[in-house]
Amino acid sequence: MTAKILLVIAALFALQLATSRVVWASDPSPLQDFCVADNSSKVFVNGFVCKSMDDVKAEDFFTYGLDKPGNTINKLGSNVRAVNVNTIPGLNTLGISMARIDFAPRGLNPPHTHPRATEILTVLEGELYVGFVTSNIGQTNRLFTKILKKGDVFVFPQGLVHFQFNRGHTRATAIAALSSQNPGTITIANAVFGSKPSISDEVLTKAFQVDWKIVDRLQAQFWMDNNN
């Protein structure tokens, strides 16, 4: 009986140790009240160097203008205004940010990922068709979609490809919160067809199983869009 009890205790200890390691593998909790980013520092760290407490001001925790619609006169018909550590230095080490997303009628926030954050989105105005795609589970990438109306909320798990589309004929607005002060954004089409230098035609034609002329046309289009 004693041996069994010792085995149970050992198993619980191992589980606790494993759980602790998982926690330690993520961003550590702040060790002080805040760490306002010092954008003038030349020191390169994973994040931003802390500004001296004596130099911190209320403005380091402040921004404005999210009440105003973004300009959606563009090819996608959408505008994303991100509020992250680059906008509010006081967000450094706090692990949170947000964005306002405006959509013209039929506007799209195209398929993209946030490599460092989960996103939770709520619709303030209009109606959105949203969704995300899972990673390679066996041979299937599952698509989860939902029609969101005013007041509805949807979650996009960290790192997964997702999108939002205003399929209506009126404007739409959403607010997103993200679990990182610097979530990062990889827009799939831009990354694949607009990288610098370009990914080789041979790689893309084989990956997408299309003619090289289509690849060349897409790369040329993205090059023009990014250089005008």
* H, E, C per residue of the chain: CHHHHHHHHHHHHHHHHHHHHHHHCCCCCCCCCCCCECCCCCCCCCCCCECCHHHCCHHHHCCCCCCCCCCCCCCCCEEEEEECCCCCHHHCCCCCEEEEEEECCCCEEEEEECCCCCEEEEEEECCEEEEEECCCECCECCEEEEEECCCCEEEECCCCEEEEECCCCCCEEEEEEECCCCCCCEEHHHHHHCCCCCCCHHHHHHHHCCCHHHHHHHHHHHHHHHCC
Q: Could you tell me which residues come within 8 angstroms of residue 176 by beta carbon, excluding any fewer than 6 positions away?
A: 98, 99, 100, 101, 119, 120, 121, 122
Q: Is 112 annotated as a binding residue?
A: yes
The answer to whether the annotation marks 169 as part of a ligand binding site is no
202 labeled part of a ligand binding site = no
Instruction: Extract the annotated binding site for Mn(2+).
Output: 112, 114, 119, 162
Instruction: Extract the annotated binding site.
Output: 109, 112, 114, 119, 162
Instruction: Extract the annotated binding site for oxalate.
Output: 109, 114, 119
